[in-house]
Amino acid sequence: GEQVEQRPPHLSVREGDSAFITCTYTDPNSYYFFWYKQEPGASLQLLMKVFSSTEINEGQGFTVLLNKKDKRLSLNLTAAHPGDSAAYFCAVSPSNSGTYQRFGTGTKLQVVP
């Protein structure tokens, strides 16, 4: 079946450094793409939603890049701080008409002071 692969599974960076997470997907019909943050014991918090090809989106302290040609979605946390320590998940919506999301395997990020 269609898959979403996320790398790396674990990432440790120093405070102030960047943290880069990548997802690759196989379904060519994927249309909407999401990044979520999950703190320990908490639910999923949406960071950003993107859908245009080769799009760079900037949020608060992070950048999301979508490359539909390569079927690659990435999240770059710039100048990470300890509050960014959490699990991060990408998700792909396999339709343009509204449906469930297919999740990546997750990245556990630790930001060390």
Partner 1 sequence: NAGVIQTPRHKVTGKGQEATLWCEPISGHSAVFWYRQTIVQGLEFLTYFRNQAPIDDSGMPKERFSAQMPNQSHSTLKIQSTQPQDSAVYLCASSLVRDISYEQYFGPGTRLTVL
The residue ranges that bind partner 1 (CB under 8 A) are 32, 34, 42-46, 49, 51, 89, 91, 93, 96-106
Size (the chain), residues: 113
**Least distance between partner 1 and beta carbon 68 (Å):** 15
Is the CB of 2 or the CB of 15 nearer to partner 1?
2
Is the CB of 19 or the CB of 102 nearer to partner 1?
102
**Least distance between partner 1 and beta carbon 111 (Å):** 22
Report the DSSP beta bridge partners of residue 56: 65
Is the CB of 61 or the CB of 94 nearer to partner 1?
94
**Least distance between partner 1 and beta carbon 33 (Å):** 10
Is the CB of 74 or the CB of 93 nearer to partner 1?
93
Checking 13-17 for CB contacts under 8 A at 24+ apart, the result is 13/80, 13/109, 13/110, 13/111, 13/112, 14/111, 14/112, 15/80, 15/81, 15/82, 15/111, 15/112, 15/113, 16/79, 16/80, 16/81, 17/79, 17/80
Identify the DSSP state of 81.
-
**Least distance between partner 1 and beta carbon 58 (Å):** 19
